[in-house]
């Protein structure tokens, strides 16, 4: 079973808009503000990430099989390479899902802010 990829929601952004937003986060003060928000919401975000990873099939039986296969590789160099590859794949998947959740969180906060301002 292939993992599911969440559908994009809400507004779409041009490459230039995304590049500008990423560039804005290189400002230490802006990045610090975002880090503070994430730190406050970390427990709730962790639950959402766990559910998204489980629901999407990212860490199901195929992943477990890859873990066991990597650990049981006889050749030490091959085992180390297999574990490194597995860790890199897990990191990429975690980042992808994390960014997806972050976009969703930003959209939720933005829509609630807009609704509050309209009221």
Residue 71 lies in a domain: yes
What are 23-57's pLDDT values in tens digits? 888 899 888 888 888 888 888 888 888 888 888 87
Domain extent at residue 44: 27-118
- The CA distance from 117 to 10, in Å, is 18
Question: Residue 84 domain-assigned?
Answer: yes
Q: If pLDDT is split at 50, 70 and 90, which confidence band does 117 have?
A: low
Does a structural domain hold residue 38? yes
Check whether 19 has a pLDDT greater than 70: yes
What CA–CA distances, in Å, run from 99 to 21, 28, 30, 49, 82?
13, 19, 17, 10, 26
Q: Which of 119, 113, 3 is nearest to 61 (CA)?
A: 3
Flag whether 13 is in a domain.
Answer: no
Query: Residue 4: what pLDDT?
Result: 47
Count the domains in the chain. Answer: 1
Identify whether 64 is part of a domain: yes
The DSSP letter of residue 3 is P
Which one has a higher pLDDT value, 78 or 99?
78
Query: What's the pLDDT score for residue 56?
Result: 81
Q: Phi then psi for 60, rounded to 5 degrees?
A: -90, -150
pTM comes to: 0.62
């Amino acid at each position: 079973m292939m993992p599911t990829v969440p559908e994009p929601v809400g507004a779409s952004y041009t490459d230039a808009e995304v590049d500008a937003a990423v560039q804005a986060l290189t400002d230490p003060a802006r990045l610090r503000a975002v880090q503070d928000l994430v730190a406050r919401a970390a427990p709730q975000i962790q639950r959402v990430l766990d559910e998204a990873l489980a629901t999407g099939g990212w860490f199901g039986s195929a992943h477990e099989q890859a873990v066991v296969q990597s650990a049981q590789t006889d050749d030490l160099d091959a085992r180390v390479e297999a574990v490194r590859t597995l860790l890199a794949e897990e990191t990429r998947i975690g980042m992808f899902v994390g960014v997806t959740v972050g976009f969703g969180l930003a959209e939720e906060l933005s829509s609630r802010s807009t609704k509050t301002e309209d009221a």
